[in-house]
């Protein structure tokens, strides 16, 4: 039974990295003493070592060791043997491209479907959907495809922002961008506000955190999803 | 001698479509009575007919007729025969993908290099650079490449936004995104604030409009470029 914890963001304004969800992560990774960290999204250009050190420090506080996938000589074997995964945020194009280069998307998908718990933040959550077509990131590298892990049946737009009625900026709002997406794609999208996350247990997906989320489904009116409710069945 | 007019945005807050630059466009297209409009970026999902009607209405006020490229039976021939171009904003991925599907990028590039004046707004300006790797748009379709027309030697980030020091949102700032781009790409980027535009005359590129622009060059400190100055030689 697959288990995923997909967060909109790693960090809430004013709080240290991951602290707002550490109690939940302790539950999510119960009984697991080491996880495999996927550092490829490189936020602000952090090296894989630097980024892994950030994740390691946060998980040390709940007594979970962190190994970086870039440290593994045989990434496919390491993914197969991992007890849990954490993919950090950054640039979704860079992250996905690196996963394609290493040819690890199929084994990552298989491991998740077989029940290895997967935790993602931002870009790390984005790639759990069928594609990265709803990322907010800049396309700074060209991946072989926008198709991603696809272990949930809809895409995630992390860091979802509501339109600001006082803004004088003429760039598209997040809602406009996702509406444009729906002209070309049938797969639904959840706009996850910062502080929200999805908990996936087998066929059940729950929205968690203090805020509601935004649900975009082609041909239907966009709606608000209440937090702490089951949102869809796989 | 190539001539381009590359605007950050079509519309300034509170003013009708294109009105803030119509006097300059009248000069730019002096002596030209008809231009070819490229409506493929489809802002808010507008049909090509609807979008062309918007452009047609704006240009009617300066007595320039507008023909939509989608109306042409032979797009390559129409591009070769065009007296001027206007590519409207919308989604850069959708726009570029359609240009690839029609196989018109080479002829468009050739026509511009041969002197047919080109006006772009937002996504239409973005594609004048070597690639769309600095678009703000959502990757809602997968184009065969991110390479674009490449008639100027740097990329454009339209609708450039300065970081908001009061923001509590944890998504990346525009500056962070462009800095991340520089880890993977050597081509420079200009952040064009709304209301700014570039005027290209042969080898000379001038920044115009009321605001300064932001210049990102790999290995150098990011700087402000003053408006009404020559910014770079091709």
Helix/strand/coil (H, E, C) string of A136-197?
A: CCCCCCCCCCCECCCCCCCEEECCCCCCCCCCCCCCCCHHHHHHHHCCCCCCCEEECCCCCE
Helix-then-strand count for chain A, H and E? 7, 12
Does the annotation count A125 as an active-site position?
A: no
Which structural domain, as residue segments, surrounds residue B65?
A: 3-233
- pLDDT value for B171: 84
Q: Decide if B21 touches A, using CB distance below 8 A.
A: no
- Give the three-class secondary structure for A46: coil
Q: Do B169 and A176 touch (CB under 8 A)?
A: no
- From the list A10, A92, A111, A122, the catalytic residue is A122
- pLDDT value for A116: 98
Q: For residue B12, what is the domain's CATH number? A: 3.40.50.880
Q: Do B137 and A172 touch (CB under 8 A)?
A: yes
Report the sign of the C-alpha dihedral through residues B219, B188, B200, B192, in that order: negative
- Confidence class of residue B232 from pLDDT cuts 50, 70 and 90? low
- pLDDT value for B141: 98
Give me the tens of pLDDT residue by residue for chain A, a chain 234 residues long: 999 999 999 999 989 999 999 999 999 999 999 999 999 999 999 999 999 999 999 999 999 999 999 999 999 999 999 999 999 999 999 999 999 999 999 999 999 999 999 999 999 999 999 999 999 999 999 999 999 999 999 999 999 999 888 888 888 899 999 999 999 999 999 999 999 999 999 989 999 999 999 999 989 999 999 999 998 654
pLDDT digit string, tens, across residues B74-105 = 999 999 999 999 999 999 999 999 999 999 99
- pLDDT value for B234: 46
pLDDT digit string, tens, across residues B99-134 = 999 999 999 999 999 999 999 999 999 999 999 999
pLDDT digit string, tens, across residues A108-150 = 999 999 999 999 999 999 999 999 999 999 999 999 999 999 9
Q: Do A44 and B142 touch (CB under 8 A)?
A: no
Q: Which residues in chain A are contacts of B44 at CB distance < 8 A? A: 176, 179-180
Burial (Cβ within 10 Å: 0-12, 13-18, ≥19) of residue A196: buried
- pLDDT value for B146: 98
Does the annotation count A122 as an active-site position?
A: yes
Give pTM, 2 decimals: 0.96
Buried b (16+ CB within 10 A) or exposed e, B27-47: ebbeeeeebbbbbbbbbebbe
DSSP output for B10-51: S--TTS-TTGGGHHHHHHHTTT--EEEEE-TT-GGG--HHHH
Cα(A212)–Cα(B224) distance, integer angstroms: 40
- Confidence class of residue B203 from pLDDT cuts 50, 70 and 90? confident
- pLDDT value for A232: 67
Closest to B118 (Cα-Cα) out of B1, B204, B23, B2: B2
Cα(B205)–Cα(B223) distance, integer angstroms: 17
Other CB atoms within 10 Å distance of the CB of residue A78: 17
Strands B197-201 and B3-7: what pairing? Answer: antiparallel
- What distances in angstroms separate CA B177 from CA B157, B161, B214, one per listed residue? 11, 12, 13
A44 Cβ partners below 8 Å, 6+ apart?
A: A90, B176, B179, B180
A160 Cβ partners below 8 Å, 6+ apart?
A: A8, A174, A191, A192, A193, A194, A213, A214
Other CB atoms within 10 Å distance of the CB of residue A110: 13
- Confidence class of residue B163 from pLDDT cuts 50, 70 and 90? confident
On the CB side of A100, CA atoms within 13 Å amount to: 15
- pLDDT value for B166: 86
**Which of B90, B136, B183 is facing A45, going by the closest CB pair?**
B183
Best to test chain A binding among B142, B160, B162 (most A CBs inside 10 Å): B142
Element (H, E) at A86: strand A85-87
Residues 142-171 of A with CB under 8 A from B: 142, 145-146, 158-159, 161, 168-171
Cα(B49)–Cα(B33) distance, integer angstroms: 20
Cα(B30)–Cα(B84) distance, integer angstroms: 10
- pLDDT value for B226: 95
Shortest distance, CA B116 to any CA of chain A (angstroms): 28
Number of domains in chain A: 1
């Amino acid at each position: 039974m697959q288990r995923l914890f997909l967060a909109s963001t790693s960090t809430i304004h004013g709080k240290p990295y991951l602290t707002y969800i550490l109690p939940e992560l302790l539950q999510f990774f119960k009984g697991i003493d080491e996880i495999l960290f996927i550092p490829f999204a490189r936020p602000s250009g952090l090296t894989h070592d630097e980024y892994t050190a950030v994740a390691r420090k946060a998980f040390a506080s709940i007594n979970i060791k962190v190994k970086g996938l870039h440290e593994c000589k045989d990434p496919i074997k390491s993914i197969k043997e991992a007890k849990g995964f954490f993919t950090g945020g950054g640039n979704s194009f860079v992250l996905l491209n690196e996963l394609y280069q290493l040819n690890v998307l199929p084994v990552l998908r298989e491991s998740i479907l077989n029940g290895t718990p997967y935790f993602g933040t931002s870009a790390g959550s984005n790639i759990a959907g069928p594609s990265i077509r709803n990322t907010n990131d800049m396309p700074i590298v060209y991946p072989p495809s926008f198709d991603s892990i696809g272990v949930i049946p809809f895409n995630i737009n992390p860091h979802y922002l509501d339109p600001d009625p006082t803004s004088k900026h003429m760039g598209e709002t997040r809602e406009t961008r996702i509406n444009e997406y729906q002209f070309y794609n049938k797969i639904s999208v959840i706009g996850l506000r910062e502080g929200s996350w999805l908990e996936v247990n087998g066929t059940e997906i729950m929205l968690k955190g203090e805020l509601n989320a935004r649900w975009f489904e082609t041909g239907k009116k966009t709606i608000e999803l209440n937090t702490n409710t089951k949102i869809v069945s796989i």
